[in-house]
């Protein structure tokens, strides 16, 4: 696809959102004011209509494949194994939702700062700023310590519907400080999620977790509407997966609650072992396994380097068809798991209470 900086033509938009109506029919929506007004750009003797990146979300809301659901959904990407695709899928899902006019907040929970770097873009610099503090972005820890307001820790991206709270070294301090909380399992809910939900600014909060258990991750999982676990189709991931799900079961038993889960087989390769692992996942997790496994591809990386979704970068690629199907399924699952639940539901007598706060954001 051409550079998105130059904007998007009808045929590019049609590819991205799977639009099947004709160009003239699409233009008629613009003439009526049902979608944003395009810029007219001269191309030879004719002029063509070009929409900007910022205009895409409202087009996506009307013509896209992901439909809006109610309330703020918290979705966490977590597995105990590194390199299974948590960060790329969290990023792709977040950006694709945002391109459908859903307001999305990404919270990075990995001190490797991978998703923060994707969202911010790698800045080439050959000298340090005058004030070294300028290198450090406030994040969850500074909000927790009340050094900054939650809304001030949120950073914007090139898409008006996509924001993020950056990861920083304070995540390690947050981990330690949660030990001193009276009710650490509810800490994320109390200090962040309940405030964000009360604020009502976001449709989705997407958490990109690091691959190990800890106080912060436990508390994030406890508050999540859905745990999404990308599982790489290889033997070493399969081995850790057994331990992971048994630890998860212990965690649920201790807290007397059950987390809704969704498993995505990733990095599928064209060899016997990889297909065998896939078939194990499909059998073992039959009720919660994505219908579409994701094949190993460079397209996800290529898009990521450009800070784009595959939807913007390569909407004609086979992996995009698979991602579209996957994200549709994920949104359906989320609708189902949160259907009868209010996001702030308290536990019953046997479990810990989820604290609500109406404190200033
Ligand atoms: N089908 C696929 N699904 C997911 N990732 C894929 C796929 N094909 C290739 N990749 C690539 O595999 C890599 C996996 O991503 P990454 O190592 O960031 O995963 P992660 O689970 O977030 O790792 P970590 O645990 O270190 O945070 C990325 O470079 C991604 O582009
Ligand atoms: Mg990661």
Residue by residue, DSSP assigns 231-279 as EESSHHHHHHHHHHHHHHHHHHHHHT----EEEEEESB-SSHHHHHHHH
- What's the 309 CA to ligand 1 centre distance in angstroms? 14
Give the per-residue pLDDT at 361: 79
CA 190, 195, 200, 201 torsion-angle sign? negative
Q: If you average pLDDT over every residue of the chain, what do you get?
A: 91
Angle at 220 between CA 215 and CA 224, to 5 degrees: 155
Site to substitute for ligand 1 among 76, 77, 83, most atoms within 8 A of C-beta = 83
pTM higher than 0.75 for the full model?
A: yes
Does residue 310 contact residue 303 with C-beta atoms inside 8 Å? yes
Rounded to an integer, the average pLDDT of 333-351 is 59
| Alpha-carbon Rg for the chain in angstroms | 21
CA 223, 98, 160, 108 torsion-angle sign? positive
The C-alpha atoms of residue 346 and residue 342 are separated, in whole angstroms, by 9
Residues near ion ligand 2 (CB < 5 Å) are 86-87, 114
Residue nearest to atom 25 of ligand 1 (CA): 82
Give the per-residue pLDDT at 133: 65
**Percent of the chain's residues with pLDDT above 70:** 89
Rounded to an integer, the average pLDDT of 186-214 is 96
Burial of residue 25, with CB atoms counted within 10 A of its CB: 0-12 exposed, 13-18 middle, 19 or more buried: exposed
Give the per-residue pLDDT at 241: 95
Residue 109, classed as helix, strand or coil, is strand
Site to substitute for ligand 1 among 229, 292, 300, most atoms within 8 A of C-beta = 300
H/E segment holding residue 205 = strand 204-209
Residue nearest to atom 20 of ligand 1 (CA): 83
pLDDT at 4 over 60: no
> Which ligand sits nearest to residue 211's alpha carbon?
1
DSSP states of 23-48: HHHHHHHHHHTSSPPPEEEEETTEEE
Residue nearest to atom 14 of ligand 1 (CA): 85
Give the per-residue pLDDT at 68: 87
Give the per-residue pLDDT at 330: 97
Residue nearest to atom 16 of ligand 1 (CA): 83
- What's the 163 CA to ligand 1 centre distance in angstroms? 21
Grade residue 355 by pLDDT with cuts at 50, 70 and 90.
very low
CA dihedral of residues 81, 82, 85, 89 (deg, nearest 10)? 90
- What's the 24 CA to ligand 2 centre distance in angstroms? 43
């Amino acid at each position: 696809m051409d550079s998105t900086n130059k904007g998007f033509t009808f045929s590019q938009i049609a590819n991205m959102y799977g639009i099947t109506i004709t160009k003239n029919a699409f233009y008629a929506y613009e003439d009526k004011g049902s979608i944003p007004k395009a810029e007219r750009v001269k191309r030879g003797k004719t002029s063509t209509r070009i929409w900007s990146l910022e205009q895409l979300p409202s087009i996506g809301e009307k013509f896209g494949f992901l439909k809006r659901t109610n309330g703020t959904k918290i979705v966490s990407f977590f597995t105990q194994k590194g390199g299974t695709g948590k960060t790329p899928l969290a990023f792709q899902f977040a950006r694709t939702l945002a391109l459908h006019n859903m307001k999305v907040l990404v919270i990075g929970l990995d001190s490797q700062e991978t998703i923060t770097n994707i969202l911010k873009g790698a800045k080439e610099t050959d000298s340090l700023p005058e004030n070294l503090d300028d290198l450090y972005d406030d994040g969850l820890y500074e909000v927790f310590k009340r050094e900054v307001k939650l809304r001030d820790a949120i950073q914007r991206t090139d898409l008006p519907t996509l924001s993020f709270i950056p990861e920083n070294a304070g995540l390690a301090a947050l981990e330690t400080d949660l030990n001193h909380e009276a009710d650490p399992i509810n800490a994320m809910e109390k200090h962040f999620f309940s405030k964000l939900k009360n604020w009502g600014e976001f449709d989705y909060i997407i958490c990109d977790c690091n691959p190990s258990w800890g106080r912060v991750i436990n508390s994030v999982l406890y508050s999540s509407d859905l745990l999404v676990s990308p599982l790489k189709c290889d033997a070493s991931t399969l081995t850790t997966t057994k331990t992971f799900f048994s630890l998860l079961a212990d965690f649920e038993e201790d807290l007397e609650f059950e987390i809704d889960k969704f498993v995505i087989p990733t990095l599928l390769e064209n060899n016997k072992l990889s297909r065998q692992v896939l078939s194990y996942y499909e059998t073992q997790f039959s009720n919660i396994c994505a219908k579409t496994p994701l094949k190993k591809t460079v397209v996800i990386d290529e898009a990521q380097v450009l800070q784009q979704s595959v939807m913007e970068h390569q909407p004609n690629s086979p992996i995009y068809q698979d991602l579209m199907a996957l994200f549709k399924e994920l949104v359906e699952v989320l609708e189902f798991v949160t259907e009868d639940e209010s996001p702030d539901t308290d536990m019953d007598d046997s479990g810990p209470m989820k604290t609500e706060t109406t404190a200033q954001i």
